[in-house]
Amino acid sequence: MVLQTTLPYDVLKPRALPGIAPLDTAPWFLVDEAYSAQMAERARLLIERRDEVIATDQPSPDSLSKMMEAVLTHLPEGFVRASDQITCPDGRVIQLDRSDPFGTLGQILQDDICLMEKRGKEHVLTGAVLCFPASWRLREKIGMPLTHIHVPVTSYTDDIARRVQRLFDGVRPGHPIWRFNAL
């Protein structure tokens, strides 16, 4: 296990559920002292356990394309984008493969990426690269709506579920949000 020695915010500071706030002008992604070691572990997982760390459930091709471009547009300092490749802060050069967005992003960022799309009344997990989950497995949750994903979380009440769904419904391009929690 590769852990950070510092975190960018106080994970123990009490926050109102569901722990979501506007990102404003803050960077979407961070690179910290654990980047190289975590990326080495991600690379191993992507090779040896790809079917456990990447999954999709019929994501919209348009959503996949927009997601990948949004992530690449918001890479933090230390990444260099040149045509169809990204040079990472640790010197690795990753070829962009738009036919494999989760595999590609999983080689670039130390963050896990999950795509939630509105299907019916709820947002559903339609794709992800998830190498470092907190007490769950991607195969258990792929294709499931938010309420099902959070079934084992006792504090995820019907009221919280409605609030979270309203937040998801209200997310607009150019107005990112982020979620904090201790995990």
pLDDT in 10s for each residue of the chain, 183 residues? 667 777 766 767 776 666 777 787 778 898 999 999 999 999 999 999 999 999 999 999 999 999 999 999 999 999 999 989 999 999 999 999 999 999 999 999 999 999 999 999 999 999 999 999 888 899 999 999 988 888 877 888 888 888 888 888 988 887 888 776 666
Q: What is the pLDDT of residue 100?
A: 97
What count of residues does the chain have? 183
Q: What is the pLDDT of residue 26?
A: 79
Q: What is the pLDDT of residue 2?
A: 64
Query: Please, which residues bridge with residue 125 across strands?
Result: 116
Other CB atoms within 10 Å distance of the CB of residue 39: 22
Boundaries of every domain in the chain: 25-46+55-179
Separation of alpha carbons 68 and 130, rounded Å? 15
Model's pTM, two decimal places?
Answer: 0.89
Structure tokens belonging to residue 82: 């040149």
Q: What is the pLDDT of residue 181?
A: 62
